[in-house]
Structure 1
Amino acid sequence: MVSAIITAAGRNKRMRDDLKSRGMEIRHKLLLSFHGNPIILQTLQNTLKADVDECIVVLGHFSDEIISVLDEFDDERVKIVVNSEIDVELSESLLNGVKKAKDDFCLCVAADQPAVSAETFKNIVDGVFNSQEPENTVSILARGKSGYLNTAEGLGMPFACRADILKKYLTGNKDNLNPLLRKMVKEGVVLYGVPPRDDIELLNINEYDDYIDIIEKSISD
């Protein structure tokens, strides 16, 4: 009943600039190691363990590099979508994945969140199905207050909702995700915040210090 969409189409600019300033080898952040796995594969494995029917990975920039890693992963549920245009916003990448989804509900995941557990992904999906209005609910990883929310300020992926909601709000919008979430709430979409298992799940990897931070905290956890 649930299709997962993993967005992995970004420019990697902040990580590349940071590595260059440090005199380090320029690498894509999604290909850095997370306890023996490339970050993209760790995120993919955690997502698949959330009992999704399929997992659509949306690629754009550096798609050849990422595909070479995904090709080593053997699971028939994994599908790859490459944006026809490279320089697009997150909303456009997400919509390209949603359009390929076979299920009525979607779990939307950022590829650079390898510490989000399968358990939390499941809880996010359950947040939709257990809602009094599953047709009109976005269940999202909370950053602070959890439960029913009246604001989307500071929120982003991962989240789950009906594909129809995504198609409505993503179509024709070239923007980041948060402004669209705020618009949803303003127009009456129910927002439900799911608490993280631990603070590590809230970390995104943008620069090298973010990467080191998430590695160290996941080891000590």
Structure 2
Amino acid sequence: MTPAAARLAFYNEALRLLGERPLASLTENREPRRILDSVWDAGAIDYVLEQGQWQFAMRTISLTYSPSVEPPFGYRFAFDKPEDLIRVTSVCTDEYFTTPNLNYTDEAGFWFTDDETIYVKYVSSHVNYGYDLSLWPQTFLKYVAAYFASESCSALNKSESTEQKIRSILKERHKDAMAKDSMAEPTKMLPMGRWVTSRYGGINRRDRGR
């Protein structure tokens, strides 16, 4: 499904929930389409991306410190945040994301730490990540449709009972999308216990020799 087709699909699903007839295209001259466009323009996609750690929107990058920013005290290095940042999921000291960076702070649009390089995993609004609607799973598309429907109720003069029904659907679809998305994550093994570790001379084999 192309991004345009995905957008039309969730617009029409939103209209179905609202009891409106579907759109033939994204340029159809109708008030419901203009209302849905206004919800989009108000930052709706950033909002729904912020509501979970969505695998399809996840991006990993390495960052080197910004030499133009010199912290006045404390941590030695400052890092510019990426422009497509929606929600951080982890900041680590290694490229395999096995060692969390526990010594950093987030201030005034920068990350500060004593490491010269950091590795960041985050939900991205980039056109190749979160804003590539062709990557959206069906459960997420339906969740977005419910959000757009809930934001359009007042503008379309829908009844309070309709608005309450859509909000209930929104809550259930968000829960479903979150559950399905978590199933897409790689299986994570628990660390070895002390007894097992001692069998290997006190070395955890997942420590990659460090």
- If the length of structure 1 is used for normalisation, what is the TM-score? 0.23
TM-score normalised by length of structure 2? 0.24
For the pair shown, which has the larger CA radius of gyration, 1 or 2? 2
